[in-house]
Amino acid sequence: MSVPPPPEPITGARLLFSLDPAVSHLNHGSFGAVPIIAQRAQQRLRDEMEADPLRFFTQGLADRITHARRHLAGFLGADPDGTALTMNATTGVAVVLQSLCLRPGDEVLTTDHGYGAVDLSVFRECRRTGATHRVLRVPLSATNEEIVQIVRSGLRPGRTRLLVVDQLTSATARLFPVAAIVGVAREHGISVLVDAAHAPGMLPATVQSIGADFWVGNLHKWGYAPRGTAVLTVAPQWQERIEPLVVSWEQAAGFPGRMEWQATADYTAWLSAPAGLYTLRTLGVDRVRAHNAALAAYGQRVVGDALGVPPADLPDPGGPTVAMRIIPLPAGLATTIEAARALRARIAERLATQVAVMSWDGRGWLRLCGQVYNSPDEYDRLAVRLPTLLAQG
């Protein structure tokens, strides 16, 4: 079966970023890439802050943060008054876990597709409170119906306090049916936290349509915002119980103000985030989503073919807008986190290509992303050179 053709490039998109042209950046999902227009907007804000710090922090900053939050929440289909800006999805998860006031006998339920730092946060909070962390195994080939049934069977009403589920998984690039999962959990009175780190900008589903108790997503990946921009959306019944990790002067303001005001933090990323969304909208949101997903699919097939992986063994994320794909690596490679990191570094150094290498379910996986600044020939070059590098051990 032949490799499908790549999508038509979006003319001029590469020039919107300041990425090193000597490197193939095929891992947008890890740290994103900030368009030049958003970089300049943030620098202007930093110049303003440094010109008169006291004025910047004491005259209208809270209102400017609120304005930025409302802009971002509107794009995501989230309630602006039930949404707080935060640094990243992992921070949002930590805030929720701390605010639950877990006790011995309580349980936090996750899946084996969860993000590693989130698992560490759950482990720490359970150790601190005496609660239990239990992990559901979800096969990579499971259908949406099978995933919902696995979750349904795994819930323990009266004991499971929180279910944490990814909207789009980092390690496996798998799209989860989060709205259906939330519905199942609600039948049993169990709260759900959706880790949507990769959703903003990539996926079309709105936050309110999912209906989770908690939803946290990064804008600095697929939303083109400066790094350190994420949102935590909280259902009304939980908002007064949400406590920030650090108490500051807006503590009495309630949610979201008490969470957003973190003293002398650098708020310029949040304030310039709308410039990132402006870039996305200018290019065309649907156009970018379709392009990126098609390019990631092309990269998966061409590199998979080069590694001898049959098309049937290339995981399909199950969605037309998923711009991340994974490829199984040869047996014995990157089977641990340490080995995966080492292989990623070798690929970067020797092939001048940035990719993600994951260790999941006892084997190594290569994750490729598609973005408007990428071109098909970058995946073609990787396909030609990667087999030799991997054969060297």
Judgement on whether residues 82 and 157 belong to the same structural domain of the protein: yes
Residue 201 lies in a domain: yes
Q: Which domain holds residue 315?
A: 13-31+284-391
Judgement on whether residues 27 and 152 belong to the same structural domain of the protein: no
Residue 5 lies in a domain: no
Quick: pLDDT tens for 328-357: 999 999 999 999 999 999 999 999 999 999
User: Which ranges of the chain would DSSP assign to H, the alpha helix?
Assistant: 28-31, 36-51, 53-58, 61-76, 89-99, 116-129, 144-154, 178-187, 207-210, 257-260, 268-283, 285-306, 337-351, 376-391
Q: How many CB atoms lie within 10 A of CB 349?
A: 9
User: Which ranges of 312-375 would DSSP assign to H, the alpha helix?
Assistant: 337-351
Domain C-terminal end among 278, 307, 340:
278
Judgement on whether residues 217 and 240 belong to the same structural domain of the protein: yes
Q: Are 358 and 171 in contact (CB under 8 A)?
A: yes
CATH of the domain at 192: 3.40.640.10
pLDDT of residue 317: 78
Judgement on whether residues 25 and 42 belong to the same structural domain of the protein: no
The Cα 217–Cα 231 span in angstroms is 6
CATH of the domain at 20: 3.90.1150.10
Judgement on whether residues 176 and 216 belong to the same structural domain of the protein: yes
Residue 165: its H or E element: strand 160-166
CA atoms within 13 A on the CB side of 273: 33
Domain C-terminal end among 254, 278, 302:
278
The Cα 393–Cα 390 span in angstroms is 6
**Mean per-residue pLDDT pooled into runs of 10, the chain (393 residues):** 84 97 98 98 98 96 97 97 97 97 97 96 97 97 96 96 98 96 97 98 95 98 98 97 91 93 93 98 97 97 96 86 96 96 98 97 96 98 98 84
Threshold 0.85, pTM exceeds:
yes
Domain C-terminal end among 226, 249, 278:
278
Judgement on whether residues 248 and 334 belong to the same structural domain of the protein: no
Q: Name which of 303, 365, 361 is nearest 329 in CA terms.
A: 365
Judgement on whether residues 336 and 271 belong to the same structural domain of the protein: no
DSSP per residue, 202-231: T----HHHH--SEEEEESTTTT-PPSS-EE
For 305-309, which contacts have Cβ atoms below 8 Å and span 24 or more sequence positions? Answer: 305/3, 305/383, 306/383, 306/384, 306/386, 306/387, 307/386, 307/387, 307/390
